Structure 1
Amino acid sequence: MANYAIMRCKKLTGMGSVASALQHCYRERETPNANAERTPENYCSVSKSTDQAMGRVRELLPEKRRKDAVLAVEYVMTASPEWWKEATPRQQAEFFARSEQWLEKKYGKDRVVAAVVHRDEATPHLSAFVVPLTQDGRLSAKEFIGGRSKMREDQSTYAESVKKLGLERGIEGSRATHQTVQHYYESINRGTRSQVSISPEALEPRVLRKGIFTKDVEDQAAIAKRLSHAVNDGFAGTIAMASQSAQNAKRARELQKTMDAQQKRLQSVTEPFKGLSREQMTEILMMAQRFKQQNQ
């Protein structure tokens, strides 16, 4: 099974955002997804604390800059979970060293203001912060990571830098979409689900707007869209976990089949309502309510 190099980045605007992200990185604030007993295994190779890192940021930032300028870019660099299980301590150390070297080559060594190896989460990874300052002193995240072509190039060059360790680049041009650092971890932390339940009440049209004498309710298309979103959201954590591992590809396909089955079920439920007006749908629901009361 192939093992992949994984890299995510996030733009940070505002000193408060940078400081907050650094506090999370240095475990100076509560970190629910980290195992406190393993936190001592983390180590820093640049700044040793948020205060030190923020000091380096202030030294690099130009006095004149836009109010909405990106002050720092946060990186998370890791590999497929299976790779960590088989990699030797020396290989793991080389992975982190090569990852940091890639950042230094891209931005300049002095632009890397923080680099912390986290071993207290589910998968070891490097969290790094860089100031996107050009050689001529301009603050420009766009010049470093702007545009899809630039991001694709970065994914390729990064994978090449750790290729010696048995890691590959993800499939270029695949339908898999890029996720932010925050969304990536939120999806994983949701955990896995084998099924998503849809209650009978969820199939009933919801009131969109209620007046004194009338009310607007969802049509069949709106119901299908709402329930489809609920199904997709329910499986988001499971799919995120499956995508971490090539060994979970089969499970991901099975989950997709389950999602497809749920979608077909939704279509069969909404099919009888096709072609009906909102008033007709409301009348049917009122009749159903009367029948329900009679049966009680």
Structure 2
Amino acid sequence: MSYAVIHMQKVKGNGVTGMQIHNQREKESDTNTDIKKDRSHLNYDLENETPIDYHEKIKAMIDQRVDQSQRKVRKDAVKVASFMITSDKAFFDRIGEREEKRFFETARDFIGEKYGKENIAYAMVHKDEKTPHMHLGLVPITKDNRLSAKDFFGKKQQLHQLQDDFHTHMKENGFDLERGVSSDKKHLETAKFKLQTVQEKTKELEENLKRIEQIDEFDKKYKEGRFTNRVTMDREDFEAFKGVAKAGIVTLEQNKLLEAKLDDLKASNTFEVQNLQRSLKQAENERNKVMDTNLKLSRENNSLKQRNKKLYMENQLLSGTLINIKEFCKERIKNFDILVGYWKAHVLGRLEKATGKDLSHINLNLSDDDEREGFQKQKELQNEKEREKKQVENEFELE
């Protein structure tokens, strides 16, 4: 029997980039050898027709719907509840492509009905790994416009109810599946639960080995005599042999079920291991980026300090030179200050014309009344020319 598998993981802002890279196959994976690159084009997103920027979409959903007037969203808040939804390979092989897509659409609709379809950011189906599965991202926004994963998944009972409700929903929609086994059984961490599962399987195998040893005993006992077309044995041995034979048939069927369950466990384990590996790699990448950025900014800061010091010295030199030139010209050129004011106004006018902007706010450092007089006369002259130009244009339009 196949199982309805649904796992949920809370993801903060610093984990979103890793999910996007993995889900949309933006980089080649060094850790997941199950990915078949030649099948990646078969992957599809039930919510988005083209690849998206996870950060941008999640931020837009929060900005548009979360009330931040009283309290801003914390930087370390859970931004996404990441679901992994699947079954085992045998189940998908059995139902075919069309029903497979309906399986994921039905699962997507279940999340939408239970937690709000407007909260779903993406629903990426992967068909390029051994077992088809869907990564669905839910932004946990409550009905009263708060970002709160705790409201949805803060209690253990809520996660148990999720397993029950998901199984019921899939059964009601025609998918013959067993309820997924919860990996957070009481007093068991995930790793301990998996260890317990392995121990249970080991015990079954040991019992099967005992039966095989019984058969070996029978074989050894009756090989000591001469072989004929018939084998004669005691009634007690015959009854024991029958029991072993029946148990062997049952064991074969059990092995088939165990193989199906093993596929389910592999799909679940692969997802969890990949998430841990992605988170670790992402943390290392983020740390390296921050260190590189800090080093780069430090170098740029030192460079700017040197340039600023050099510019300051050049400015002091130019200021002193201009003062000397101005004093020299005052002594030899009549109305020199008026001419300086005139040219400052002229240059300012040309700049305004070239840029199309009003630059009257610029400090021209008019040093005395003569400069201000020359500046004002030139501005008046420019204004007069502008008025004459407009008058000519208006007359031309009237004609």
Q: TM-score w.r.t. structure 2 length?
A: 0.43
Give me the identity figure in percent: 29
**1:103-135 CA deviation, whole Å, 9 max, x = no partner?**
111221121001111000111011111100001
1:14-25 matched pairs, under 5 angstroms: 14=13, 16-25=14-23
When residues 171 and 75 of structure 1 are mapped into structure 2, their CA distance, relative to the original with a 3 A threshold, is closer
CA deviation after TM superposition for structure 1 residue 68, in Å: 2.3
1:117-132 matched pairs, under 5 angstroms: 117-132=125-140
1:137-152 matched pairs, under 5 angstroms: 137-152=145-160
Other structure's SS at 2:179 match: coil
When residues 36 and 157 of structure 1 are mapped into structure 2, their CA distance, relative to the original with a 3 A threshold, is same
Matches of 1:172 and 1:146, distance apart in 2: 16
Higher strand proportion: 1
CA deviation after TM superposition for structure 1 residue 179, in Å: 4.9
Higher helix proportion: 2
When residues 156 and 251 of structure 1 are mapped into structure 2, their CA distance, relative to the original with a 3 A threshold, is closer
Matches of 1:26 and 1:250, distance apart in 2: 28
1:36 corresponds in structure 2 to 37
Structure 1 contact 8–75 (Cα < 8 Å) conserved: yes
Structure 1 contact 23–50 (Cα < 8 Å) conserved: no
When residues 249 and 35 of structure 1 are mapped into structure 2, their CA distance, relative to the original with a 3 A threshold, is closer
1:69 corresponds in structure 2 to 77
When residues 179 and 45 of structure 1 are mapped into structure 2, their CA distance, relative to the original with a 3 A threshold, is farther
1:82-231 matched pairs, under 5 angstroms: 82-163=90-171, 164-171=174-181, 175=185, 179=190
AA matched with 1:111: N
Matches of 1:124 and 1:28, distance apart in 2: 19
Q: TM-score w.r.t. structure 1 length?
A: 0.57
Structure 1 contact 77–127 (Cα < 8 Å) conserved: yes
* Structure 1: 5+ residue stretches without partners: 185-244, 253-296
Structure 2 contact 9–82 (Cα < 8 Å) conserved: yes
How many residue pairs get aligned? The number is: 186
Matches of 1:35 and 1:173, distance apart in 2: 28
1:199 corresponds in structure 2 to none
Other structure's SS at 1:116 match: strand
Structure 1 contact 34–121 (Cα < 8 Å) conserved: yes
1:49 corresponds in structure 2 to 51
AA matched with 1:147: K
Higher relative contact order (CA 8 A, sep 6+): 1
AA matched with 1:35: K
- Pick one of 257, 270, 276 that aligns with 1:246: 257
Other structure's SS at 1:165 match: coil
Q: Which 4+ stretches in 1 moved above 6 angstroms?
A: 249-252
Structure 2 contact 81–137 (Cα < 8 Å) conserved: yes
2:384 corresponds in structure 1 to none
Matches of 2:124 and 2:183, distance apart in 1: 30
Matches of 1:6 and 1:250, distance apart in 2: 11
Matches of 2:185 and 2:59, distance apart in 1: 39
Other structure's SS at 1:162 match: helix
AA matched with 2:20: L
CA deviation after TM superposition for structure 1 residue 97, in Å: 0.8
AA matched with 1:122: K
Structure 1 contact 8–179 (Cα < 8 Å) conserved: no
